[in-house]
Amino acid sequence: MCGIVGYMGNQDATPVIMNGLRMLEYRGYDSAGICTMDSGEVEIRRSSGKLVNLERLLKEQPLYGNIGIGHTRWATHGKPTVANAHPHKGGSVVVVHNGIIENYLLLKDELSNKGHKFLSETDSEIISHLIDEKLKSTTSLEEAVQQALKELQGAYALCILCHKDNKTMIAAKSGSPMVVGIKGNEFFVASDMPAIISNTREMVIMEDGEMAVFRNGEVKFCTLDGEDINKTSRIVDWSPLKAEKNGYPNFMLKEINEQPQAIRNVVAGRLREDKGDVFLEELGLNNSGLNAFERLCLVACGTSWHAAMAGKYLIEEHCRIPVDVEIASEFRYRNPLISEKTLLIAISQSGETADTLAALREARSKNAHIVSICNVVDSSIPRESDGVIYTRAGLEIGVASTKAFTTQLVALYLLTIRLGRANGAIDLKKGQEMLAALNKLPAQVEKTLELDSQIEEIACEYLTSWDAIYLGRGISYAIALEGALKLKEISYIHADGYPAGEMKHGPIALIDREMPVFILAPNDRHIVKVRSNMEEVITRGGKVVALCSEGDNETGKRAEFTLQIPWAGEALSPVLFTVALQLIAYNFAILKGKDVDQPRNLAKSVTVE
C-alpha cells in the first residue's frame, strides 16, 4: 500500500512530484523514489525510509525533466530496502505501483525463463518487465500496457514511463484509487486529490479497468481493450488543508489538543434544539426512509471499528434497533446476511481503507442502503455511499487516530439522536437533554486535556512495563480497546482491552506487580461491578490506574493512580475517557523516545488487503 504521483507538463517535474508525495506519506513511509524523463533518458533516485531521505538524495543528485513519476511505499512484498523501493525498471519500462499483484510469482517465473533479471523482492517489479516483454511484439507502449495489465491479478494503480516513447506517460487503475488532475495541457496523477489539489481543482476520477494516456499536452482515457472513454472532469471546491504543527512538537499532540474544536465542528449547524433532534440531511433519508430498515450494520477497521463498537452500544440502547458490528476485512469474505432492509454504515477516517471499501461494495451488491461516516471529503468511501456524515475533524496527519476517532463518536451520537427521534425511541425531552450534554462536551474535553501532567507521572512509573491491560464495561469496553490500540501503535508496548467482567475467564492470569491495569470506571450503571473487577486485580497484586468520574472519591481509593475525568453522561463520557487514554499512550511513547507521528510498520491509510 503506497502513494503514487505522476506529472507531465511544462514545469520541472521533481518539485511537483515531491510536493505530492509529501501529501501521500500517510500511505506509507518505508521508502520513496522518483523517476524523471529528460531528453529521452530516464533517471531514477530511490532511498529507504521516510521521504526526507529522498529529499536529501535529490539535493546531492538532482533530477531534471518535465515528465516524472514518484512513489512512497508501505512494504507488502519485500523488505523496506532501496532495492525494493519504487520506481522499478524492467528493460525500457519504469513503473510505480500501489496495490498487490497476486499472481506475480507465476509471471516472474515466466519472465525469468524469457531472460528477464529481477533486482527486487517485490511483486511490482514484474509489471515493468511484463510491459517491456509485450513491447517486443506490439507497436506502441499503450498497447503493450494494455496486454500486460490483462495478465495481472490483484490490485493496482500505476504510473508508467518508457524511454522508447519519451513523450508519453500512462496511468491505469484496478482496485487501488487514482485521480487525474488537469490544468490546461499540464497533467497530474495521484492516489488521492490532496496530493495534487494545490496544482489544480479540475479532477477526473479513474474507475477500475481504465487507462489514461498522456501525450503531447493531451490526455486520452480508454479501456484495456483500447476503446476510448469519454470522461468528464469535475471542479473540486474544497481547499487543501495545510499540515502545520503550530508550535506543537508533533502532529499527534496538536491533533489531541484540537479535539475541543473538532467536536464543535462536527456539531456545528447540526443541532435542532427546539425539536430535540439533529439535521442530518446528508443521510439522504427522511423519517420513513430511516424507519424502513430492520437492522444496521456498522463496518470499519482499526480505530474506526472501535467507534463502530461504541456506536452499537449507543444505537441499540437509545434507538432499540439491532446493530451488527463487523470488521471489514472479515465481512467482505464471508457472504454476510445483508438485504435492502439493512442500513450499512461504513466508518473510515481516510475514506480509502481497502477492506472497508470492499465491504461497502459487498453490501452494495446485496442491495443495502449505504451511509458513510468519514473525515476526508470526496474520498472513495463517501463517493460510493448513498449518504455521508462528514466528521469535519480536519486534516489528521498523526498515524495514530485521535481527533478522527472522537469526532466519529460524536457523529454516531448525532446519528443515534436522528434514528431515535425518527422511530420515537427518543422523545423530545430526552432528545433535548442529549443535545444539552453535547453542547457541554468541548469544554469538558478541554478540562480532560489538563490531566496531562498527572498522566506523565503515570507513564514515568510504568515506563519499563512490557504489557498493559485496559478494562471497561458497556460502552467503555470499546474505549478500552481503543486505549490499548493507541498504546501499542505508538509506544510498542503490548496492550489488550477486555470487557472487565471477562477478565476472570483468562486474562486475570496475566496480572502481576509489573503490568499496569487501566480500569475505565465512569460513573455509569456499571460502576459497582467495575469496582469489584478492580478489587480482583488488586487482590492479585496488580497495579491499577483507575480512570473514574469527577467527584467519585470512592473508586480510586485502592488504586496506585487515579484520574478524575469530567462526567458527560454515559453516552458521551467515552469521548472524555478516550482523550485521557490518548494522553497516556502519548506520554509513554514520548518518554520512550518514539516517533509518535510515524510509528514503525504503520501507515495512515491502508489501501491494500
- Strand spans (E) along 342-428: 342-348, 369-374, 387-390
Annotated catalytic, 604? yes
Q: How many residues bind ligand M6R (CB under 6 A)?
A: 16
Spatial separation of the C-alpha atoms in residues 68 and 318, rounded to whole Å: 54
Query: 474 to 533, contacts with ligand M6R by CB under 6 A?
Result: 489
- The alpha-carbon radius of gyration of the chain (Å, integer) is 26
User: Given 2, 162, 297, 301, which residue is catalytic?
Assistant: 2
Q: Kindly state the smallest distance separating residue 252's Cβ from ligand M6R, in Å.
A: 10
The burial class, CB within 10 Å (0-12 / 13-18 / 19+), for 509 is: exposed
605 binds ligand M6R (CB under 6 A): yes
Alpha carbon 508 to chain centroid, angstroms: 33
Of 134, 173, 486, 604, which one is the catalytic site residue? 604
For ligand M6R, the binding residues in 381-410 under the rule CB under 6 A are: 399-401
Matching residue, cell 461497502: 360
H or E element that contains 130: helix 125-135
DSSP state of 101: B
Q: Restricting to residues 348-367, which ones interact with ligand M6R according to CB under 6 A?
A: 348-350, 353, 356
Which residue's CB comes closest to ligand M6R?
Answer: 302
SS3 of residue 209 by DSSP:
coil
Among residues 23, 606, 607, 608, which is the contact residue for ligand M6R, using CB under 6 A?
606
| Range in contact with ligand M6R (rule: CB under 6 A) among 80-88, 105-113, 178-186, 601-609 | 601-609
Q: Which of 6, 9, 302, 483 binds ligand M6R (CB under 6 A)?
A: 302
Q: Which stretch binds ligand M6R (CB under 6 A): 60-68, 102-110, 147-155, 300-308?
A: 300-308
CB-wise, 356 or 562, nearer to ligand M6R? Answer: 356
Closest to 43 (Cα-Cα) out of 133, 223, 163: 163
3-state secondary structure of 444: helix
| Pick 197 or 404: Cβ nearer ligand M6R | 404
Query: Whole-angstrom Cα distance, residue 258 to residue 391?
Result: 13
Which of 47, 176, 257, 304 binds ligand M6R (CB under 6 A)? It is 304
465 binds ligand M6R (CB under 6 A): no
Judged by CB under 6 A, which of 152, 158, 211, 301 binds ligand M6R?
301
- Per DSSP, the three-state class of 104 is helix
Identify which range of 233-241, 255-263, 345-353, 508-516 contacts ligand M6R by CB under 6 A.
Answer: 345-353
Nearer to ligand M6R, 221 or 390 (CB): 390
Integer Cα distance of 89 and 129 in angstroms: 7
CB of 602 to ligand M6R, least distance (A): 6
Closer residue to ligand M6R, CB minimum distance, 301 or 412 = 301
What share of residues in the chain are helix, strand, coil (percent, to 5)?
Answer: 40, 25, 35
Residue 254 among the catalytic residues: no
Compute CA distances 196 → 62, 204, 214, whole Å.
22, 12, 16
Tell me: cis bond preceding 87? Omega within 30 of 0 counts.
yes
Residues identified as active-site: 2, 604
Q: Which residues bind ligand M6R (CB under 6 A)?
A: 301-304, 348-350, 353, 356, 399-401, 489, 602, 605-606
